[in-house]
């Protein structure tokens, strides 16, 4: 039945609109002798002028802004190696586990998951996530879980429920660009707090604290980190929690890379502060700070295209209370987020994926990181920072000694032109003079790429001599 039909039917039932009515096609109607006729509305426009909304115009993805502006013309003599894409499936060397695939096939064959699910997800699937992530320190029930379309929607809902336009959020620098993309489009100010490369990317706690004011509505903590590959110690996480607690600011913990942490101490990294083995969740360490922890299947289960994420609501002192929970439920109703087939497979994925799958993924990432770190450590003008988790390594460029290039964007652009190796300039993470390498590529390609980066640097490295330094002073 047409929209007009619905309106007319309602009228006949006595529940319709009286007098002037607005149908969904936007036309005003008036009632004359029981019938609806278009009202004579004075046209306000003489010609077409359809503009994108302010929200659309204010939605900017810095990675796209930078990469689309680069001239990426690879050297035709060398096959391209893209170390830029944070999608572990692109090279085909890291398939997901067959248990994960079977769970999906079973969910389809059951025909039980073809309809709409509740906006927050099926209760059974939420319970499965709650069971998987529950710990004695941070217990979870199905009611504490909201299923979303990837971790991205989880972050979107978490920011949306905690912040109003005019508020500010504290975001790590360097950090994942989505936080800013979402916040700015909602009129929320982003304040960047510094991570310290010389301390394996720990948070500059003083800087973090200095940014908090009465309009700060949340602190985002990404652990393990994209783009740094760093993993915070328990002690460091506790210090961040203390800052949040002192100022009564909730935390949005982006833990999409949780448990993607190296198994053994990475001893070759001299300044390593990581004991390896584990990355405790923020919630397991929090005595009072309320936390929305965002995660999903994308990275650990190597299926980013399946778009299944979650928010875990940790609120032991009932600070979020029912209002924030209700807010999240309402926001989830805007769009039914997570695909029902994947929700149907979730319980089996979480319960039946063999531990060997997780450990072999992490071993591979760790070994590739070590190769990359060792190779690039020996390259003049580069300072790689050894990661301890996730799937990235950040590399500092000693720009002073590469006079051929203006900045990291220029450097990485020419690396493509000459060597057909593409690394993401860290300006995309608001952190110039670094680039980020994704370590999910097959080992041979990692070795080949490092060799080419070395050749490129040897060609362009021209250290400023001590004499010229002296003359400048
Ligand atoms: C830190 C971080 N958070 C969230 C996401 C988004 O995850 P999803 O693909 O599940 O939306 C990513 C993806 O790269 C990420 O690196």
C-alpha–C-alpha distance, residues 93 and 109, integer Å? 28
124 is a domain residue:
yes
Point out the domain boundary residue: 352, 378, 408: 352
Q: 166 and 33 in one domain?
A: no
472 is a domain residue:
no
E strand or H helix that includes residue 236: helix 234-246
Could you tell me if the CB of 372 is within 6 A of ligand 1?
Answer: no
Within its chain, how far is the Cα of 382 from the centroid? 27
- Residue-wise pLDDT for 402-448, tens only, equals 999 999 999 999 999 999 999 999 999 999 999 999 999 999 999 99
C-alpha–C-alpha distance, residues 423 and 438, integer Å? 8
Which tokens sit at 129?
Answer: 């996530």
130 is a domain residue:
yes
Could you tell me if the CB of 171 is within 6 A of ligand 1?
Answer: no
Instruction: Annotate 338-358 with b (16+ C-beta within 10 A) or e (fewer).
Output: bbbbbbbbbbbbbeebeeebe
Classify the C-alpha dihedral 159-314-192-362 as positive or negative: negative
Q: 237 and 191 in one domain?
A: yes
Give 131: exposed, middle or buried? Use CB within 10 Å, 0-12, 13-18, 19+. Answer: middle
- Residue-wise pLDDT for 110-151, tens only, equals 999 999 999 999 999 999 999 999 999 999 999 999 999 999
- Strand-pairing partners, residue 169, are 190, 218
Strands (E), 189-324: 189-196, 202-203, 216-222, 251-254, 291-296, 309-314
Q: How far does the centroid of ligand 1 lie from the alpha carbon of residue 106, in Å?
A: 27
Could you tell me if the CB of 88 is within 6 A of ligand 1?
Answer: no
pLDDT of 31: 64
- In the chain, which residues have pLDDT < 50? 1-20, 265-277, 470-473
Q: 388 and 343 in one domain?
A: no
| DSSP structural state of residue 261 | B
Q: How far does the centroid of ligand 1 lie from the alpha carbon of residue 295, in Å?
A: 8
Q: Which of 146, 151, 225, 227 to mutate to test the pocket of ligand 1 (most atoms within 8 A of CB)?
A: 151
Which tokens sit at 439?
Answer: 């370590």
C-alpha–C-alpha distance, residues 277 and 267, integer Å? 13
Point out the domain boundary residue: 352, 387, 402: 352
Q: What is the 3-state secondary structure (H, E, C) of 109-173?
A: HCCCCCCCCCCCCCHHHHHHHHHHHCCCCCCCCHHHEEEECHHHHHHHHHHHHHCCCCCEEEEEE
- Residue-wise pLDDT for 285-327, tens only, equals 998 999 999 999 999 999 999 999 999 999 989 999 999 999 9
For 325, the 3-state DSSP assignment is helix
Q: How far does the centroid of ligand 1 lie from the alpha carbon of residue 414, in Å?
A: 28
Could you tell me if the CB of 150 is within 6 A of ligand 1?
Answer: yes
Q: What is the dihedral of CA 135, 141, 142, 146, to 10 degrees?
A: -70
Q: 337 and 234 in one domain?
A: yes
Q: 373 and 338 in one domain?
A: no
| Number of separate domains in the chain | 3
| Cα dist from 103 to 162, 166, 329, 373, whole Å | 35, 44, 27, 37
Q: 400 and 339 in one domain?
A: no
Could you tell me if the CB of 256 is within 6 A of ligand 1?
Answer: yes
Per the structure, the complete domain to which residue 24 belongs is given by: 8-38
Could you tell me if the CB of 152 is within 6 A of ligand 1?
Answer: yes
43 is a domain residue:
no
Q: 360 and 348 in one domain?
A: no
Could you tell me if the CB of 222 is within 6 A of ligand 1?
Answer: yes
Q: Which residue has the tokens 């057909």?
A: 420
Note the maximum CA span of the chain. Answer: 96
Q: 209 and 87 in one domain?
A: no
pLDDT of 2: 39
Q: 391 and 337 in one domain?
A: no
Q: 261 and 300 in one domain?
A: yes
Q: 150 and 81 in one domain?
A: no
Gap between the terminal Cα atoms of the chain: 81
Point out the domain boundary residue: 301, 318, 352: 352
For 234, the 3-state DSSP assignment is helix
Beta carbons of 349 and 107 less than 8 angstroms apart:
no
Q: 272 and 385 in one domain?
A: no
Within its chain, how far is the Cα of 87 from the centroid? 12
pLDDT of 447: 98
Q: How far does the centroid of ligand 1 lie from the alpha carbon of residue 152, in Å?
A: 6
Could you tell me if the CB of 226 is within 6 A of ligand 1?
Answer: yes
């Amino acid at each position: 039945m047409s929209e007009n039909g619905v309106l007319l039917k309602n009228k006949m039932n006595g529940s319709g609109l009286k007098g002037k009515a607005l149908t969904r096609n936007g036309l005003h109607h008036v009632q004359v002798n029981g019938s609806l006729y278009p009202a004579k509305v004075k046209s306000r426009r003489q010609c077409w002028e359809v503009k994108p909304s302010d929200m659309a115009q204010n939605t900017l993805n810095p990675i796209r802004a930078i990469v689309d502006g680069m001239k990426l013309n690879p050297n035709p003599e060398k096959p391209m190696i893209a170390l830029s894409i944070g999608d572990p499936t692109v090279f085909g060397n890291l398939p997901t586990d067959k248990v994960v695939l079977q769970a999906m096939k079973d969910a389809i064959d059951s025909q039980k998951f073809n309809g709409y699910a509740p906006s927050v997800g099926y209760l059974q699937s939420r319970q499965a996530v709650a069971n998987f992530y529950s710990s004695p320190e941070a217990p979870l029930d199905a009611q504490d879980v909201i299923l979303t379309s990837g971790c991205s929607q989880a972050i979107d809902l978490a920011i949306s429920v905690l912040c109003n336009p005019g508020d500010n959020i504290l975001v790590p620098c360097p950090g994942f660009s989505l936080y800013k993309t979402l916040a700015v489009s909602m009129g929320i100010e982003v304040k960047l707090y510094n991570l310290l490369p010389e301390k394996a990317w720990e948070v500059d706690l003083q800087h973090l604290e200095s940014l908090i004011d009465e309009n700060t509505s949340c602190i985002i903590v990404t652990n393990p980190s994209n783009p740094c590959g760093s993993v915070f110690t328990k002690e460091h996480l506790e210090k961040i929690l203390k800052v949040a607690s002192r100022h009564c600011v909730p935390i949005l913990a982006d833990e999409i890379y949780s448990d993607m942490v190296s198994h053994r101490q990475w001893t070759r990294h001299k300044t390593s502060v990581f004991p390896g083995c584990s990355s405790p969740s923020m919630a397991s360490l929090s005595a009072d700070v309320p936390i929305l922890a965002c995660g999903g299947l994308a990275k650990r289960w190597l299926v980013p295209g399946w778009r299944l994420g979650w928010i875990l609501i940790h609120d032991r002192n009932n600070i979020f209370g029912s209002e924030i929970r209700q807010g999240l439920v309402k926001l989830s109703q805007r769009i039914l987020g997570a695909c029902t087939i994947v929700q149907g497979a979730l319980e089996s994925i979480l319960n039946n994926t063999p531990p060997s799958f997780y450990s072999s993924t992490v071993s591979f990432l760790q070994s590739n990181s070590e190769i990359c770190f060792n190779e690039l450590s020996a390259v003049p003008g580069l300072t790689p920072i050894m990661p301890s988790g996730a799937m990235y390594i950040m590399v500092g460029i000693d720009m002073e000694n590469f006079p051929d290039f203006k900045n990291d964007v220029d450097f990485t652009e020419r690396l493509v032109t000459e060597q057909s190796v593409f690394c993401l300039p860290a300006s995309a993470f608001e952190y110039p003079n670094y680039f980020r390498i994704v370590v999910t590529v097959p080992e041979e390609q990692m070795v080949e790429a490092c060799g080419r980066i070395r050749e490129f640097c040897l060609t362009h490295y021209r250290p400023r001599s001590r004499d010229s330094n002296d003359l400048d002073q």
